[in-house]
Amino acid sequence: MLLAYIDEIGETGAFVSRDHDHYSTSPAFGYAGFIIPEGKARDFGAVFDGEKRTVFKRLIEQADHPGRWERKGAEVFSVRAPETHPGQLRVFDHLVRTLTHMGGNLFYYADEKPIGTPKQTRLDRDDRERQAMREALNRIARHADTHEQNVLVMIDQINEKERKRRLPAMYEHILGRTKEYPEMRRLVEPPMHVDSALSASIQFADWVAACVGRAIDYQLLKESAYSWITDTRVVKSVRGSFTHESKLHLHLRSVGEFHHSQIFSRERPLFPIPGGQLVGDMTDPMAAEKMRAIAAKMHKG
């Protein structure tokens, strides 16, 4: 059996731009983490815990509850990470190599958000979360089926009320899709919720989600501050480590979507560098989004 540990990429809210007063958090939403054979999960967790206790020794000793202390992925992959704490990035790279040597893979699925306020984009945050979770489960099941293994999915803990609200939808999706897509039988249960403070594997999934989020930021935002994420001297081992099913789904774009390690490419298909002026330089982002919305309506018609 395989074990999949995933965490959220970004959040479900609207996105306009990095400098918007209210809607500036993340240009995409989805899930990322890793998949590992069950027989290697405990070993990998021990390696992660050992590295964490070495790198963050002083912080852990100073914590009120050392056994529950965790370093969030957003801190590991902060804007100036290569300058302020390159050692943490080296530890992440080492952990990715360890994972792949144990027969594991990194994984992600994310949807680019339409640009605009909640009213402009008719945002339904619950639907955005459901759609991303469904696609993540579909792709994890497909990966497991390729390896002729069942898979158990685990995700960071949420409050009990929210868990009970989401659970029926996940059951409905898995059972409803099974007849047409038999690989869904590989999912032993809907995702189980685990407290990240008590799980080294969920903590590493959070690191992976942060790393993937930075790469998506670089690919989707022209003025991204995370160009360093594509530097092979910073995070080398992610390339070739993702499942074939990993994907960034674009919103009404004229270029191909991103698969597996392509989000870490230095080249950015959305912002090519031709000999003349970029088309994107001549088009207001909001106007471009309206044009894509019109195109979508025409396509549906």
pLDDT of residue 271: 95
Type of residue numbered 101: H
Least confident of 160-169, 201-210, 261-270: 160-169
**Domain boundaries of the chain, sorted by first residue:** 2-269
Instruction: Specify the pairing of strand 151-156 against strand 28-37.
Output: unpaired
Q: Is the pLDDT of residue 145 over 90?
A: yes
pLDDT in tens, 214-239: 999 999 999 999 999 999 999 999 99
Q: Which two tokens stand for residue 69?
A: 């202390």
Q: Residue 287 — very low, low, confident or very high, per pLDDT cuts 50/70/90?
A: low
pLDDT of residue 275: 57
The helix/strand/coil state of 274 is coil
CA dihedral in degrees (116, 117, 122, 126; nearest 10)?
Answer: 110
pLDDT in tens, 7-27: 999 999 999 999 999 999 999
Q: Is the pLDDT of residue 166 over 90?
A: no
Which residue is listed with tokens 């994310």? 110
Q: Residue 163 — very low, low, confident or very high, per pLDDT cuts 50/70/90?
A: confident
Q: Is the pLDDT of residue 127 over 90?
A: yes
What span, in angstroms and rounded, lies between the C-alpha atoms of 283 and 279? 7
pLDDT of residue 69: 94
Q: What is the mean pLDDT of the chain?
A: 92
Q: Is the pLDDT of residue 142 over 70?
A: yes
pLDDT > 90 fraction of the chain, expressed in percent and rounded: 83
pLDDT of residue 150: 98
pLDDT > 70 fraction of the chain, expressed in percent and rounded: 90
Type of residue numbered 121: T
What span, in angstroms and rounded, lies between the C-alpha atoms of 168 and 157? 17
If you write DSSP's letter for every residue of 192-256 in order, what string do you get?
A: EEE-GGG-HHHHHHHHHHHHHHHHHHHHH-TT-S-GGGG-TTTS-TTTTTB-TT-EEE-SS-SSP
Least confident of 18-32, 54-68, 75-89, 156-170: 156-170
Q: Residue 301 — very low, low, confident or very high, per pLDDT cuts 50/70/90?
A: low
Contacts of 90 (CB under 8 A, 6+ apart): none
pLDDT of residue 86: 96
pLDDT of residue 284: 55
The helix/strand/coil state of 57 is helix
Q: What is the mean pLDDT of residues 88-109?
A: 98
Domain 2-269 superfamily per CATH = Ribonuclease H-like superfamily/Ribonuclease H (3.30.420.10)
Q: What is the mean pLDDT of residues 28-45?
A: 98
Q: Is the pLDDT of residue 300 over 90?
A: no
- Would you call 67 exposed, middle or buried from its count of C-beta atoms within 10 A (0-12, 13-18, 19+)? exposed
